Amino acid sequence: MSPARSNRSPSREAAPRLKREHYAYLQDLMRRHAGISLEGGKEYLAEARLAALALQLGFGTLRSLMESLQTESERGELHRAVVEALAIAETSFFRDLHPFEALKNVILPEWLSGRTADRCLNIWSAACSSGQEPYSIAMMIRDRYPQLIAGGVRLIASDLSNTMLERARAGVFTKIEINRGLPAPMLVRYFTQTDQNWRIREDLRSMIEFREHNLAASWPSMPFMDVIFLRNVLLYFDAETRRFVLRNIAKCLRPDGYLVLGGGETTLTLDDSYEPVQIDRAVCYRLVPADRARPRKVA
């Protein structure tokens, strides 16, 4: 990355506007690198995020960041930083609550009742952002199913963004993040205060294996999963990427496993190897049993 350093702050630019062709370049970049579809009419969001990135990286103006972006290697750090900056990372502890209740009250008791001695519970939080989702699952398991802690559970959390993964691995959250969804008794039990922030207890942190994984690129081998949380990420993808991701998820979900999507997301019309199951107030997805599955069309 070779920022054209300058003392001028992008915030002092008259109005850090992206040219139309710059936005078109970003739309193409995001689609190819992350499967993310940047809508027309949302230029102001990209402008705000990239102006902050330009400042952080020492570019004098948003325009100079864009010029470097278009001349540097697409495999370089600048492209990576831009993709990460434009991927929405909004998250919170126990976000939307119902999927966590479904996991606690139905999915895990069902799994435990069918458990065999050699079976480990595998849970994957794909697109984990700064970690609130996998930590919510870990805290719930420690509270309700402590018998799973010693070797009985494997919790994997992944994301495209290294910046988010670093934050997730650190397990340090601001007061604002803590105030979004974390029940007070859990704060007391599982966090220690460090200056203005809160740090998750080491035994919780070490329950989670953090990995970099771009869902829209080639897939690494994954253990068979009992539960996959894939929430609030499909909605940013174009239809082709959604199908690609769901097809790959189906290959690593156990036949009796559950896929949990975000509230506004569904497999319907995208992949008929799944069927929805209502669990209390959450809709989860299971693979259609082999004897009812339609042969997959080869694309």
Min CB(14)–ligand SAM separation in Å:
31
SS3 23: helix
172 in Cβ contact with 226 (< 8 Å): no
159 lies in the binding site for ligand SAM (CB under 6 A): yes
Q: Does 214 bind ligand SAM (CB under 6 A)?
A: yes
Among 153, 156, 160, 182, binds ligand SAM (CB under 6 A): 160
Site for ligand SAM in 26-45 (CB under 6 A): 34-36
Residue 167 in the binding site for ligand SAM (CB under 6 A): no
Close Cβ partners of 21 (under 8 Å, ≥ 6 residues apart): none
**Per-residue mark of binding to ligand SAM, 243-282 (x: CB under 6 A):** -------------------x--------------------
Closest to ligand SAM by CB, 16 vs 253, is: 253
Span near ligand SAM by CB under 6 A; candidates 43-51, 62-70, 115-123, 159-167: 159-167
Contacts (CB under 6 A) with ligand SAM, residues 121-150: 127-129, 133
CB 272 within 8 A of CB 244: no
Size, binding site for ligand SAM by CB under 6 A: 25
Q: Which of residues 46-105 bind ligand SAM (CB under 6 A)?
A: 87-91, 95
Closest CA to 26 of 77, 76, 65: 65
Please report how close the Cβ of residue 229 comes to ligand SAM at its closest, in angstroms.
7
Q: Residue 58: which of 110, 133, 8 has the closest Cα? A: 8
Give the footprint of ligand SAM on this chain (CB under 6 A).
34-36, 87-91, 95, 127-129, 133, 159-161, 164, 214-216, 231-233, 236, 262
